[in-house]
A = this chain, B = another copy of it.
């Protein structure tokens, strides 16, 4: 993929960290040579050296005399990462919808500081470039833009999406792409294509509340699988579950998990896909944050390891280009006929105008240039927001260090109540997402999600400071002795 910007040593360090986190580099592996990586990224050997020294300081690499840098045998977990008990819950009905609606509605009230909804800030969106694409479509193909698109989507958009996987060993075939009205419709169609009311859906714990609410609304049962704070869905935990229970489908956000930011390492992904193929269980992959990697490249999706057509990958442009356009897609094989039938009766074809505009925008390098800018903004926003939380939240607060996306998963000290913090905060016009929304088990009561999709501002700084004060007040009231 095109990447024209100049790399700084922090970028290089971040890239290598990602390669270690996603398993491209394993413990004991030799890191790329200074000269090779310098050439590849078009930066000086000195910059690479500076990055490697930084990584050595952080304990991720170790220099061996006369040989180069090697990945540490056990790269230490960041001390500050949130942790949770690994308890396996039973499949259960979900009841988060009412609470979710309340939280989302309160975040949308004008004047409320939105740290709850995972949106990119409008100032980060390519408004002018998209308008140019729109004008081109309206001049050249106005009539076509008013007509029904094919059910599976506009051919040029399906090709553009497929082309973005051209570097993979098995690139996506345009015929495997079904355009949807946003990633929400994509996920919803996938669930409905392979499961019905009463069926058990295995999800990560914590899980994206949107998927939990789909499961609730469709009358299915959620079975929450134990996840790792950094490595996400654990193959061993999943194996235990699929051998014990009749699972209709698994939903996983393997890349930049929402809310934890975890990335399932390459080897684990392969294990998961193989395991599910053996058990003939479809895997619904939510890849909505995939393009927002802060490292050097996008971690491989589950779909890259799919030999049986079992994996359906859902994504869209809502987190990167245009939330309001509602253009998403599914990459699927075996279940494509069912998905198309369901799409036809659910919303018929996706709007033509927005599909054509998106295809025009994707046609040259504009999307990649935009993504490069957006990733840099996300990185900065995540860093500054993290630092603000570390500064203002009570001692003992843990916070994720995601390598992509723009959400932070925060663990308050034990015994604290993030629902209470949500209520205290919204009373002061600050919205957060309480952790309870990410599970139907009652876990994560002392967790919350903060979104760093907006450029950091004084208002956000004040908001986070105030959140910290509210949390501190709650802590003091609970433990008056301290």
Which of A74-82, A126-134, A362-370, A381-389 sits within the interface?
Answer: A126-134
In the bound complex, how far is the Cα of B197 from the Cα of A185, in angstroms?
A: 20
Measured between beta carbons, the chain B residues less than 8 angstroms from A135 are 135, 138
Measured between beta carbons, the chain B residues less than 8 angstroms from A143 are 122, 125, 127
Query: Interface readout for A337-369 with B: 1 if CB under 8 Å, 0 if not?
Result: 000011011111111111000000000000000
Known A-B contacts A119-B148, A324-B146; the reply to A351 vs B348 at CB < 8 A is no
Query: Interface readout for A263-280 with B: 1 if CB under 8 Å, 0 if not?
Result: 000000000000000000
73-100 of chain A: CB within 8 A of chain B: 97
Most buried by B among A122, A347, A354: A347
Most buried by B among A101, A128, A325, A326: A326
Measured between beta carbons, the chain B residues less than 8 angstroms from A348 are 182, 184-185, 326
In the bound complex, how far is the Cα of B267 from the Cα of A362, in angstroms?
A: 55
Q: Does A155 contact B (CB under 8 A)?
A: no
Number of A interface residues in the complex (CB < 8 A) = 56
In the bound complex, how far is the Cα of B134 from the Cα of A286, in angstroms?
A: 32
Most buried by B among A138, A150, A342, A348: A348
Q: Does A460 contact B (CB under 8 A)?
A: no
Select A188's contact among B101, B108, B138, B346, beta carbons within 8 Å: B346
A217 CB to nearest chain B CB (Å):
5
105-157 of chain A: CB within 8 A of chain B: 108, 119, 122, 125, 127-128, 130-131, 134-135, 138, 142-150
In the bound complex, how far is the Cα of B196 from the Cα of A197, in angstroms?
A: 9
Measured between beta carbons, the chain B residues less than 8 angstroms from A185 are 346-348
Measured between beta carbons, the chain B residues less than 8 angstroms from A219 are 196
Measured between beta carbons, the chain B residues less than 8 angstroms from A188 are 345-347
Query: Interface readout for A204-229 with B: 1 if CB under 8 Å, 0 if not?
Result: 00000010011001110000000000
In the bound complex, how far is the Cα of B97 from the Cα of A321, in angstroms?
A: 36
In the bound complex, how far is the Cα of B145 from the Cα of A326, in angstroms?
A: 11
Residue of B nearest to A128 (CB): B142
A341 touches B146 (CB 8 A): no
Measured between beta carbons, the chain B residues less than 8 angstroms from A323 are 146-148
294-326 of chain A: CB within 8 A of chain B: 318, 321-326
Q: Does A181 contact B (CB under 8 A)?
A: yes
In the bound complex, how far is the Cα of B463 from the Cα of A451, in angstroms?
A: 59
A181 touches B213 (CB 8 A): no
Measured between beta carbons, the chain B residues less than 8 angstroms from A326 are 181, 347-352
B197 touches A322 (CB 8 A): no
In the bound complex, how far is the Cα of B145 from the Cα of A322, in angstroms?
A: 9
In the bound complex, how far is the Cα of B352 from the Cα of A307, in angstroms?
A: 38
A256 CB to nearest chain B CB (Å):
20
Select A131's contact among B122, B138, B150, B213, beta carbons within 8 Å: B138
A188 CB to nearest chain B CB (Å):
5
B324 touches A147 (CB 8 A): yes
A345 touches B197 (CB 8 A): no
Measured between beta carbons, the chain B residues less than 8 angstroms from A349 are 324, 326
Residue of B nearest to A139 (CB): B131
Select A324's contact among B122, B184, B346, B352, beta carbons within 8 Å: B352
Measured between beta carbons, the chain B residues less than 8 angstroms from A134 are 134, 138, 353
A318 CB to nearest chain B CB (Å):
8
A111 CB to nearest chain B CB (Å):
16
Known A-B contacts A122-B143, A138-B131, A341-B97; the reply to A184 vs B346 at CB < 8 A is yes
In the bound complex, how far is the Cα of B100 from the Cα of A341, in angstroms?
A: 11
Residue of B nearest to A148 (CB): B323
In the bound complex, how far is the Cα of B238 from the Cα of A78, in angstroms?
A: 68
Residue of B nearest to A342 (CB): B217
Measured between beta carbons, the chain B residues less than 8 angstroms from A127 are 142-143, 146
In the bound complex, how far is the Cα of B127 from the Cα of A311, in angstroms?
A: 41
Q: List 8 A-B contacts (CB under 8 A).
A: A130-B146, A131-B142, A134-B353, A146-B325, A147-B324, A182-B347, A188-B346, A218-B345
* 4 A-B pairs with the lowest CB-CB distances in the bound complex, closest first: A324-B352, A184-B348, A185-B347, A181-B347
Taking A182-B347, A184-B348, A185-B348 as known contacts, 7 extra A-B pairs with beta carbons closer than 8 A to each other, sorted by chain A number, are: A101-B341, A148-B323, A181-B347, A213-B344, A214-B345, A326-B352, A353-B353
